[in-house]
Amino acid sequence: MPSVICDYVKSWTCRLLCPVIEVLEYF
Protein backbone atom coordinates (compact mmCIF):
# COMPACT_ATOMS: atom_id res chain seq x y z
CA MET A 1 0.00 0.00 0.00
CA PRO A 2 2.65 2.58 1.03
CA SER A 3 4.68 1.76 -2.08
CA VAL A 4 1.71 2.57 -4.29
CA ILE A 5 1.09 5.85 -2.48
CA CYS A 6 4.79 6.70 -2.61
CA ASP A 7 4.94 5.94 -6.33
CA TYR A 8 1.75 7.92 -6.89
CA VAL A 9 2.91 10.98 -5.01
CA LYS A 10 6.59 10.97 -5.99
CA SER A 11 7.30 14.04 -3.90
CA TRP A 12 9.46 15.10 -0.96
CA THR A 13 6.45 14.37 1.22
CA CYS A 14 6.71 10.75 0.15
CA ARG A 15 10.25 10.56 1.55
CA LEU A 16 8.93 11.88 4.85
CA LEU A 17 5.79 9.74 4.91
CA CYS A 18 7.36 6.48 3.69
CA PRO A 19 9.56 6.05 6.82
CA VAL A 20 6.69 7.09 9.08
CA ILE A 21 4.34 4.55 7.49
CA GLU A 22 7.01 1.87 7.81
CA VAL A 23 7.40 2.66 11.50
CA LEU A 24 3.64 2.59 12.00
CA GLU A 25 3.40 -0.76 10.22
CA TYR A 26 6.32 -2.05 12.25
CA PHE A 27 4.39 -1.37 15.44
- Contact present, 26 and 3 (Cβ < 8 Å): no
Q: Which residues contact 5 (CB under 8 A, 6 or more apart)?
A: 14, 17, 21
φ/ψ (deg, to 5) at 18: -50, -55
Domains in the chain: boundaries: 1-27
pLDDT in tens, 3-13: 666 666 666 67
Report the predicted TM-score, pTM, of the whole model to 2 decimal places.
0.33
pLDDT in tens, 13-23: 767 777 887 88
